[in-house]
Each structure stands twice: as C-alpha cells, then as structure tokens.
C-alpha cells in the first residue's frame, strides 16, 4: 500500500499503454488518480479496471469521460476532478492518436484529427488546469511529446508536428507559470513496448532496436517512472525541460 500524499493527478488517455503505466506509478506514489478516457463504453470497462488497480495502492481513483480535443468539455472535466478530489496537483497530458501517411497523400482530415487530439488537447487542459493550480499556488504539468517531435519521422508529418508543438507550448507555459509555483516539463519517449509497436513488422522492430544504444524497446513503466520523478518534490527546480527517454536512439 502506498502512503497517501493527499494530492491528485489527472492522466489523459489513461486506460492502456503508457497512460495506464503512468497512472499506476503515480498511484503507487500515493496520488489520488483521475483517469481520462474519451469513450464511455471503454471507460465502463477498461477505465473501471484501471481505477480498481489504482485503488489497490490505497488511494482513490475514478475514470472521467471526456474528449480532450473539446475545449469546453475539458473545462467541465477539470471542474469535476477538483470537485471529486478537492485539488488538482499534477496534470499529465498523454492522450494521443496516430493517422500515418506520406505527406503527398495525407488528407486534411488525417492532419487535423491528429493536431486536434494530440496538440490542441494539451492547450485545452493546461488552460483550464493552470487556473486551479494558480489558486493552489503550485502544481506540476507534464506533457508527453515524442522523439518524432524532435527529429521528425517519415510518414508522420501530422504526428511530428503535433509532438513538436507540445515542446513549444511546454516551454512557453514554463516561463509563464514558474513564478506561480507551477513547473511544466515534457517527456519525449522513443520506441516503447505498446500495442502500436507490437503491430510493427518484425523487420521494422529489429531495425529499430539496432538503432537504439541499449538494443531494446522501452517499457511503459519506464515512462511512468520519469513522470513520477518530474511530479515529485525532488524536481521542484526543473521546468521547461524535455526529458528524452529513448534508450539512446537519438543521441
């Protein structure tokens, strides 16, 4: 059982993969957990299951249904989270989608959908959550970017643009909110063992591992550990940084 710290963390896209690992790690650190899921049916199944896993650490947890690309809906979710738990101390913007395709063939819908879900959602939630954190005189915002946003990736012009945008908004927000006791940082994962990377052909996976210094893909739990550090008191003097967690792939 974790020792409760009385703080609350909101994690978007939290019912599978990296988001789930982040939620469970923060629960293990004693945070009450507000999980986010866009789909009501998924929230009723996977969301409830992850909430139960979080509660096993002795903390409170609940799943909130919200399309994070919707500005007004994000405001309502932040209100609901603070009403339920009494505070909002850590925001982890993890939700994201991919709709890959070569630039010459990418549709406007493919581009707009990824930008809206992956980047606008970060603005939406930082805009609403920062007000709560300012009134509380402190907080942590951690945005999940990607190495694709730092170096680009063929077939992912939309995804890379969104993830690069996350870096930019992180840096700007860090400068604006630092004096209010709020740190804002980003994490840029490399190849992580998720359903997305498991679907890659073996040849692609093998080639990717060869490009990684440690010769393996990362684990979702390793991203969770990075988030837990940036959310902790030990990281109080760290803001406006992009922590690359990629096993040495891009060094």
Q: What is the CA radius of gyration of the chain?
A: 17
Domain ranges of the chain: 8-244
Report how far residue 225's alpha carbon sits from residue 26's, in angstroms, rounded to the nearest whole number: 9
**DSSP label of 181:** T
Q: Fold for 8-244, please state it.
A: Rossmann fold (3.40.50)
Is pLDDT of 232 > 90? Answer: yes
Report how far residue 141's alpha carbon sits from residue 135's, in angstroms, rounded to the nearest whole number: 15
Q: What would the pLDDT profile of 86-111 be if each residue is shown by its tens digit? A: 999 999 999 999 999 999 999 999 99
Report how far residue 114's alpha carbon sits from residue 117's, in angstroms, rounded to the nearest whole number: 5
Mean of per-residue pLDDT scores for the chain: 96
Is pLDDT of 201 > 90? Answer: no
What's the whole-model pTM score? 0.96
Query: Among all residues, which ones are annotated catalytic?
Result: 159
Segment 207-224 shows an average pLDDT of 96
Q: How many CB atoms lie within 10 A of CB 233?
A: 7
Give the full edge-to-edge strand order of the sheet including 32-37.
61-65, 32-37, 8-11, 90-93, 139-144, 182-189, 242-245
Q: What would the pLDDT profile of 55-70 be if each residue is shown by its tens digit? A: 999 999 999 999 999 9
**DSSP label of 232:** S
The mean-pLDDT minimum among 1-10, 125-134, 151-160 falls in 1-10
């Amino acid at each position: 059982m974790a020792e409760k710290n009385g703080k609350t963390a909101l994690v978007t896209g939290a019912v599978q993969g990296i988001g789930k690992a982040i939620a469970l790690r923060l629960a293990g650190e004693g945070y009450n957990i507000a999980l986010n899921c866009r789909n009501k049916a998924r929230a009723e199944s996977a969301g409830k299951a992850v909430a139960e896993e979080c509660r096993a650490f002795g903390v409170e947890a609940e799943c909130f249904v919200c399309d994070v690309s919707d500005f007004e809906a994000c405001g309502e979710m932040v209100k609901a989270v603070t009403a339920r738990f009494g505070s909002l101390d850590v925001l982890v913007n993890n939700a994201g989608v991919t709709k890959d395709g070569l630039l010459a063939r990418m549709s406007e819908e493919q581009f707009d959908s990824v930008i809206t879900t992956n980047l606008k959602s970060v603005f939406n939630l930082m805009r609403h959550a920062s007000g709560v954190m300012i009134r509380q005189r402190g907080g942590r915002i951690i945005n999940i970017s990607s190495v694709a946003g730092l170096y680009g990736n063929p077939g992912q012009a939309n995804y890379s643009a969104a993830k690069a945008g996350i870096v930019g908004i992180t840096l700007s927000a860090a400068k604006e909110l630092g004096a209010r006791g709020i740190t804002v940082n980003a994490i840029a994962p490399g190849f992580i063992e998720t359903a997305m990377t498991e679907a890659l052909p073996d040849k692609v996976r093998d080639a990717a591992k060869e490009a990684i210094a440690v010769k393996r893909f990362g684990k979702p739990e390793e991203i969770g550990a990075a988030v837990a550090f940036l959310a902790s008191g030990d990281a109080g003097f760290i803001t406006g940084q992009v922590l690359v967690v990629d096993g040495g792939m891009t060094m």
